[in-house]
């Protein structure tokens, strides 16, 4: 199936891309890896008149350490993240999460910026980005602004990126090895029915839990975090008890792949498994 006709523009700089988005307004869409946008256009779920391809803009892809923080360009592919020696050493949750995404072809074309901007409720990155408490930089006509991960995901397929804006960087503090991502995937696509990312800070006291796939938008499982915060020792029993709160206060999704009850159950199981594995790595 072919998409509706569109004009294709390929800016050379970020400023040019922002100017093009401002000029074409709601008619324009950013193109990154195209693995969500192009299928949506073929199905006529999206009908942009203008495509602004940001794939050739210098410095929008790559991973580097700047002033003790790791900066990732939005055009960095899932495969680049999976293979990054810097991330395997300094932020191992990201390569682990990347390894769960789709298949090799999806990982070679899909980008972290495209995935975060698209905000599919079953995407893998949001769980890790929330557990890592990442900062997301966005650029538009008025300039640059930074949004924390927990304010970035607004609703189903909706983020803090406004009209005419481009996600231009993701920044993360280096983490220790005590991290884990556990996921139950929908077998045909690989998308998450429930994916849980855990980051345990040194000492084991500060634990962050990000959940994707369960609700319309990804979330921090704060009830789990609170249940663990007061514990003197994290035994298998205390971990299992805390994990039962993985979907507290959440309106779970149901579809042909999983009922709301099953998604809640998977969130609880994957939370227990991710906590157990991350804590074993301390």
Ligand X SMILES: Cc1cc2nc3c(=O)[nH]c(=O)nc-3n(C[C@H](O)[C@H](O)[C@H](O)COP(=O)(O)OP(=O)(O)OC[C@H]3O[C@@H](n4cnc5c(N)ncnc54)[C@H](O)[C@@H]3O)c2cc1C
Tokens of 47: 């009908």
d(C-alpha 240, C-alpha 94), whole Å: 25
One DSSP character per residue, 183-241 reads EEE-TTT--EEEEEEEEE-TTS--EEEEEESSSSS-EE-HHHHHHHHT-SS--HHHHHH
Cα gap 282→267, rounded to integer Å: 23
Q: Is 29 in the site for ligand X (CB under 6 A)?
A: yes
- 8 Å CB contact between 110 and 102: yes
Tell me which of 17, 36, 169, 242 binds ligand X, using CB under 6 A. 36
| Near ligand X by CB under 6 A: residue from 31, 127, 136, 214 | 31
Minimum Å gap between C-beta 40 and ligand X is 7
Among positions 80, 124, 169, 182, the unique one binding ligand X when judged by CB under 6 A = 124
Which of 96, 120, 135, 169 lies at the binding interface for ligand X (CB under 6 A)? Answer: 120
Question: Contact with ligand X (CB under 6 A): which of 17, 18, 24, 33?
Answer: 33
Burial category of 251 from C-beta neighbours within 10 Å (exposed 0-12, middle 13-18, buried 19 and up): exposed
Q: Count the Cβ atoms, other than its own, within 10 Å of residue 144.
A: 12
Q: Which stretch binds ligand X (CB under 6 A): 80-88, 115-123, 200-208, 232-240?
A: 115-123
Site string for ligand X, 82-111 (x = CB under 6 A): -------------------xx---x---xx
Find the shortest distance in angstroms from Cβ 272 to ligand X: 22
For the bound state, the minimum distance from the C-beta of residue 265 to ligand X, rounded and expressed in Å, comes to: 20
Subset of 125-184 contacting ligand X (CB under 6 A): 125, 161, 166-167
Q: Which helix (H) or strand (E) holds 65?
A: strand 63-66
Compare residues 95 and 114 and give the one whose CB is closer to ligand X: 114
Neighbours of 68 (CB within 10 A): 8
Residue from the set 92, 95, 113, 210 that interacts with ligand X by CB under 6 A: 113
Stretch near ligand X under the rule CB under 6 A, chosen from 9-17, 32-40, 83-91, 219-227: 32-40
H or E element at residue 28? strand 28-31
Residues in touch with ligand X (CB under 6 A): 29-37, 39, 74, 101-102, 106, 110-111, 113-115, 117-118, 120, 123-125, 161, 166-167, 189-191
């Amino acid at each position: 199936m072919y998409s509706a006709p569109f004009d294709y523009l390929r800016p050379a700089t970020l400023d040019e891309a922002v100017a093009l988005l401002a000029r074409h307004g709601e008619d324009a869409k950013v193109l990154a890896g195209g693995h969500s946008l192009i299928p949506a256009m073929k199905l006529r779920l999206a009908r942009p008149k203008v495509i602004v391809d940001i794939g050739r803009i210098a410095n929008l892809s790559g991973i580097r350490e700047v002033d003790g923080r790791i900066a990732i360009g939005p055009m960095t592919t899932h495969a680049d993240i999976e293979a990054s020696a810097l991330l395997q050493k300094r932020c191992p949750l990201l390569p682990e999460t990347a390894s769960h995404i789709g298949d090799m072809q999806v990982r070679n074309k899909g980008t972290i910026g495209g995935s975060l901007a698209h905000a599919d409720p079953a995407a893998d990155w949001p769980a890790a980005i929330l557990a890592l408490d990442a900062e997301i930089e966005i650029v538009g006509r008025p300039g640059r602004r930074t949004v924390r991960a927990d304010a970035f995901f607004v609703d189903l397929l909706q983020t803090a990126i406004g009209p005419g804006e481009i996600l231009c960087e993701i920044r993360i503090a280096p983490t220790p090895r005590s991290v884990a991502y556990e996921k139950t995937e929908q077998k045909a696509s690989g998308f998450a029915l429930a994916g849980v990312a855990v980051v345990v800070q040194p000492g084991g006291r500060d634990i962050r839990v990000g959940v994707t796939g369960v609700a319309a938008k990804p979330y921090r499982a704060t009830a789990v975090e609170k249940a663990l915060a007061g514990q003197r020792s994290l035994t298998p029993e205390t971990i299992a008890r805390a994990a039962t709160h993985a979907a507290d206060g959440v309106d779970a999704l149901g579809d042909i792949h999983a009922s709301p009850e099953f998604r809640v159950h998977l969130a609880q199981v994957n939370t227990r498994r991710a906590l157990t594995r991350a804590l074993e790595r301390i």
